[in-house]
């Protein structure tokens, strides 16, 4: 995904934690996290773009590349919270339950390790005296949260979980991501000189005239039930992100059916496919699930730190 899409997804995750109906058991954690984020919102664009701009680990950590396998056996797919669009849609996919192999990538591992490092940083921050050179800072930790959101979001981009390449030739991968980024740029007022959004009175990206897709995502995220659970059988960020990548792979084949490759999939051919008629609908599923996932992973991280601080 591209720069402003990443920043927008992270920001919408904060907004969701503030305005969605968060279950009683998680409400206090959510509210305190939103309050904490408020001081660091100016870093969202910089932090969530850091992996592409500085780390440049795109070929390994922004992806998990799946490929259908020819083996005749059943494949057990992981589960996700029932509120996830990708989960509902994936189970109807022709590839669901069929074997796959993973050819490259470690996005889930990256997410797990950053999640741990954030909790570690908080523990160091709380343990060391202010000004101690080994102590970290709130700014640094906020950057890590936004960096984490990048990898979570990338895992939701179906083509990041598909071993087929659509990045050369007509670069349909880039074309899809540009469509999303253009919509974000059109929908919000961005202070490009200072690399941040302009804010509305509530402190969220200021609307220009949101496109129907952006409006639909914002709307869905405020209404969708928040489930804190990772989904049955999953017990940590790694399990959860691995599950996401499986359904993201299924989504890739829904978006671009079998038989296409870099050579034969031009923009014109893509736009003429049956799947492309559903492009806005699929985009809404992908983007709103990405926001939901960022909120879920962040809140788990924050709650683990808070429980540690409370001595639980």
C-alpha distances out from residue 45 to 4, 142, 195, Å: 7, 12, 6
15, 62, 254, 296: which one contacts Zn ion (CB under 5 A)?
62
Judged by beta carbon, residue 95 or residue 147, the one nearer Zn ion is 147
Our finding on whether 173 is near Zn ion (CB under 5 A) is: no
Stretch that binds Zn ion, among 35-43, 87-95, 152-160, 217-225 (CB under 5 A): 152-160
Q: Which is nearer to Zn ion, 48 or 136 (CB)?
A: 48
Cβ-based nearer residue to Zn ion, 11 or 302? 11
144 binds Zn ion (CB under 5 A): no
Do 177 and 1 contact (CB within 8 A), yes or no?
yes
Q: Which stretch binds Zn ion (CB under 5 A): 124-132, 154-162, 224-232, 276-284?
A: 154-162
Contact between 242 and 78 under an 8 Å Cβ cutoff? The reply is: yes
Report how many residues bind Zn ion under the rule CB under 5 A.
Answer: 3
Residues 13-52 that bind Zn ion (CB under 5 A): 52
| Residue closer to Zn ion (CB basis): 79 or 150 | 150
Nearer to Zn ion, 154 or 218 (CB): 154
**Is 154 a residue that touches Zn ion (CB under 5 A)?**
yes
> In Å, what is the CA distance from 34 to each residue of 20, 85, 156, 302?
12, 25, 23, 10
Cα→Cα distances 263→165, 169, 170, 259, Å: 10, 6, 8, 11
Q: Is 292 in the site for Zn ion (CB under 5 A)?
A: no
What angle do the packed helices 24-38 and 279-309 form, to 10 degrees? 90
Cβ pair 150, 143 in contact under 8 A: no
Summarize as ranges the residues that interact with Zn ion (CB under 5 A).
Answer: 52, 62, 154
């Amino acid at each position: 995904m591209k720069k402003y899409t990443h920043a927008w997804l992270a920001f919408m995750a904060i907004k969701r934690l503030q305005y969605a109906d968060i279950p009683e058991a998680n409400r206090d954690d959510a509210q305190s996290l939103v309050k904490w984020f408020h001081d660091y919102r100016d870093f969202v664009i910089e932090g969530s773009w850091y992996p592409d701009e500085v780390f440049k680990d795109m070929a390994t950590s922004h992806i998990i590349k799946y490929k259908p396998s020819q083996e005749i056996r059943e494949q057990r797919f992981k589960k996700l919270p029932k509120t996830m669009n990708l989960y509902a849609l994936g189970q109807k996919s022709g590839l669901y339950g069929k074997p796959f192999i993973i050819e490259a990538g470690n996005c889930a591992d990256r997410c797990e390790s950053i999640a741990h490092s954030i909790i570690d940083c908080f523990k160091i921050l709380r343990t060391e005296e202010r000004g101690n050179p080994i102590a970290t800072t709130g700014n640094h930790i906020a950057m890590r949260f936004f960096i984490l959101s990048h990898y979570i979001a990338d895992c939701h981009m179906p083509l990041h979980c598909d071993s087929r390449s659509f990045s050369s030739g007509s670069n349909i991968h880039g074309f899809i991501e540009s469509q999303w980024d253009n919509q974000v740029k059109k929908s919000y007022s961005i202070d490009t000189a200072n690399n941040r959004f302009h804010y509305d009175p509530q402190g969220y990206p200021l609307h220009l005239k949101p496109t129907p897709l952006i409006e639909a995502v914002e709307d869905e995220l405020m209404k969708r039930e928040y489930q804190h659970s990772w989904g049955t059988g999953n017990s940590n960020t790694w399990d959860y992100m691995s599950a996401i990548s499986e359904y993201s792979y299924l989504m890739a084949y829904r978006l671009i059916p079998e038989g296409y490759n870099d050579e034969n999939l031009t923009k014109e051919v893509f736009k003429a496919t049956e799947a492309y008629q559903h492009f806005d609908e699929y985009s809404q599923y992908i983007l709103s699930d990405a926001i939901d996932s960022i909120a879920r992973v962040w809140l788990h991280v924050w709650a683990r730190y808070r429980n540690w601080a409370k001595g639980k």
